[in-house]
Structure 1
């Protein structure tokens, strides 16, 4: 069945209970009896979980006592140093990070009539590894600038240590998507429009009407071809995003890896903005007596991603 993993806040209590029954810590979860009194220790814990080797959502579970058989410990019994999400992010945001800071939030949950806090640290492959560019010290503990902290199985890399070269390489490979398949890598490339550059179309003029072609700066084997669809003249609501849209202007975007077509996305220009055509879906109310044939009461749009650079 594998290890229990975070999916959503609704199932977080079950995940915490399952992990506590294992009576060990792991790559992406860490137990604390109470909130660390030393904030350098708290910062160190969060960085290690954000840089976990599995790329899983990190869980700093506060309210599980390792020294008492991994029993639940109500944090109300020792609430010193407790933080909510805003206080935690104010603390993280005040540090000098190399680039972005980890995305973390505090989720209080009740387990067996006891209150515990879970710091949920969302993964972001495009931001790892997280590290500081200025030391942060409190008391005798210091989070060192330039040190890449991560977790070794059930424990953190020590404050005076750093990740091994192989562990650091693995994090950087995640950052650049080097271990991903072309399909997995594609969303990361599309999220960085400034690295797409115009080039000569790889298609003959007669195929899809030629079109405009772009390649990705770091991985030029990825190309994007945008071609006009003169045979389509239907109006759709998303075209009204601009008051200067004078008529349907449909274009299709095709994304290739070498000569393999990965994605084909239809869309249209609204003034100077190319908008992918949203997918339609329907919201039904089976108990409503208004429509006996079960027709929909509402329609709504899925996938409203606007790529102004295309």
Structure 2
């Protein structure tokens, strides 16, 4: 998702830049592909570079398919690099992935940032006629070095300075190197960079300072509300470059820099806040540290992180956060439905302090509400018509029955009030031969309807295929603006049907398992 969002952003620029390039199709010969990889590998900046294939020079998405000429996967590109002889045996690190934009496939060749620059060939394959061994090809602004020329002396000097760590301040270098955890070794409470041991990250427990530190609201969304704090220092040659406070959640299972407070101000009395929440900017040092100290190999850490992420907002950058604030402050009523939905939940705050219980509960409600509003806010900005589902009806019917009394149709109605009705029909009667009424939890019913809204928005109207098996299904969605969406199909279920069916089955204790999208 991270690469997808970045590629969408770069395509929308409709111009090429110093770390991305458009290609309408894959290179017709490997020599030109190798040149592009070398140019992107030899950059002075500290960003990953992207070769976006399937996009015209003006940013129009052309797309690729299985018949696109010279199309390559990651294995083919890695094979190309492994068969090339690089000076010092330093080989650019790359990846190839396919992403879907609308209905069109594009390939993204990522050339990862490296400090082992400059990359150049010590000898070349006999198949190559133009590329020159010993030449240093690089990219400056949106231009690659021509294949018959060497980079300028100034550019080569900058590349060597990058390798020696003379271009960026130490803090920037450390943050950049933190992206590659393989570069770091952990000894006790200190991480050090294996290529530059002067770069260190140190954790320090300060029991006295944080002995009585109160828990934040997000502590109560964990399996265990036990919370502790440590200090984290980024050092270069024992000099502290930056200090952070890190919170340890769920009895030590997950740790992260303490997120920042966000305040939504009253549009009339601006000095007063009507909502408060916690957030992290994805382009911040805090986010880089969070990703670095997160142990993705631990299932316990993964679950604790998921619970933390449920109630903490992540913005791409400061501008997105500012726009998010303005969208609410200009019309506070826009989040009222989200707040009311979140209030349906049950929140357990283990405290003897009534004020703390009230405060943390309110902040948890705001966090869950804002998390969902942020998702819808982004979808609206991308042009999606976001709606609120009031009810869903699923009808599953078969014409295959040996007897008139055999059940041939199931109908399930789910309403936002929590009412769930299940009707069974046979071939003899137009009325339901069996009716089951259930009362589902309102919170989980609303949660289910919110879950299916973005999924069903992308559904087509008809999933029927030309086959005679006597089986069909219908789905009707009703929205709070009075509109309706009807979808139908037969043997082909709609996308994510299995997940939706599982959630419906869990909503109520059905006496008879309902037929939904898949015939039982």
Give the TM-score taking structure 2 as reference length. Answer: 0.37
Q: CA deviation at 1:151?
A: 1.9
Check whether the contact 2:158–2:167 (CA below 8 A) recurs between aligned residues: no
Matched, 1:12 2:7: yes
Matched, 1:150 2:206: no
1:252-296 deviations in Å (ceiling 9; x for gaps): 99886578444689xxxxxxxxxxx966976468899775227x9
Equivalent pair of 1:34/1:78 in contact (CA under 8 Å): no
Aligned pair partner of 1:65 in 39, 56, 61:
56
Larger radius of gyration: 2
Asked if residue 178 in structure 1 is aligned to residue 166 in structure 2, the reply is yes
Equivalent position of 1:105 in the other structure: 95
CA distance in 2, matches of 1:184, 1:92: 29
Distance 1:157 1:182, change over 3 A: closer
- Of 12, 32, 50, which residue of structure 1 is paired with 2:41? 50
CA offset at residue 153 of structure 1? 3.0
Q: CA deviation at 1:167?
A: 0.3
Aligned-partner SS, 2:122: coil
Q: Are residues 225 and 11 of structure 1, via their aligned partners in 2, closer, same or farther at CA, if it must alter by over 3 Å? A: closer
* Distance in structure 1 (CA, Å) of the matches to 2:27 and 2:134: 23
Aligned length in residues: 239
1:90 and 2:79 matched: yes
1:1-310 aligned within 5 A: 8-19=3-14, 22=15, 25-66=16-57, 70-76=59-65, 79-97=68-86, 98-111=88-101, 113-124=103-114, 126-138=115-127, 140-141=129-130, 143-186=131-174, 191=183, 260-262=239-241, 283=308, 292-293=348-349
Offset, 1:57: 2.0
* Cα gap change, 1:48 to 1:255, in 2 (>3 Å): closer
Does the 8 Å CA contact 2:10/2:20 hold for their aligned counterparts? Answer: no
After superposition, the Cα gap between the structure-2 partners of 1:291 and 1:176, relative to the gap in structure 1 and judged at 3 Å, is: same
Answer whether contact 1:85 1:105 (CA < 8 A) is retained.
yes
CA distance in 2, matches of 1:40, 1:171: 23
Per-residue deviation, residues 18-54 of structure 1 (Å, max 9, x unmatched): 23xx3xx332222222111110110101111121333
Counterpart Cα distance in 2 of 1:147 and 1:173: 18
Aligned equivalents of 1:160 and 1:167: distance in 2? 16
Q: Looking at both structures, which has the greater relative contact order when contacts are Cα pairs under 8 Å and sequence separation is at least 6?
A: 1
**Structure 2: runs of 5 or more not aligned:** 186-191, 209-230, 245-253, 258-304, 312-341, 350-360, 365-520
Cα distance in 1 between the residues matched to 2:255 and 2:60: 49
Shift in alpha-carbon separation, 1:123–1:259, aligned structure 2, 3 A: closer
By how many angstroms is 1:99 displaced? 3.3
How far 1:170 sits from its partner (Å)? 0.8
When the two structures are superposed, what TM-score results if normalisation uses the length of structure 1?
0.58
Residue 82 of structure 1 deviates from its aligned partner by: 0.9
Local SS of the residue matching 1:146:
coil
User: Residues 33 and 65 of structure 1 are in contact (CA less than 8 Å); yes or no, is this contact kept in structure 2?
Assistant: yes
